[in-house]
Amino acid sequence: GWKEVEYEVVRDAFDNCITVCNMENVDPLGIHTGESIVVAPSQTLSNKEYNMLRTTAIKVIRNFGVVGECNIQYALNPNSEEYYIIEVNARLSRSSALASKATGYPLAYVAAKLALGVPLPDIKNSVTGVTTACFEPSLDYCVVKIPRWDLHKFSRVSTKIGSSMKSVGEVMAIGRKFEEAFQKALRMVDENVNGFDP
In this structure, is residue 88 part of a structural domain? yes
Bridge partner residues of 16 (DSSP): none
Mapping DSSP to helix (H, G, I), strand (E, B) and coil, where does residue 94 land?
A: helix
- pTM (global) more than 0.85: yes
DSSP string across 175-189 = ESSHHHHHHHHHHHH
The per-type count for the chain, helices as H runs and strands as E runs, is 4, 7
Structural domain count of the chain:
1
Q: CA quadruple 71, 76, 78, 81: dihedral positive or negative? A: negative
What are the distances in angstroms from CA 167 to CA 37, 177, 183?
A: 11, 26, 20
In this structure, is residue 177 part of a structural domain? no
Instruction: Quote the domain boundaries for residue 100.
Output: 3-140
In this structure, is residue 52 part of a structural domain? yes
For strand 68-76 and strand 38-40, is the pairing parallel, antiparallel, or unpaired?
unpaired
In this structure, is residue 152 part of a structural domain? no
Residues 112-143 pLDDT 10s? 999 999 999 999 987 778 889 999 999 999 99
pLDDT band at 198 (very low <50, low <70, confident <90, very high): low
CATH number, domain containing residue 110: 3.30.470.20
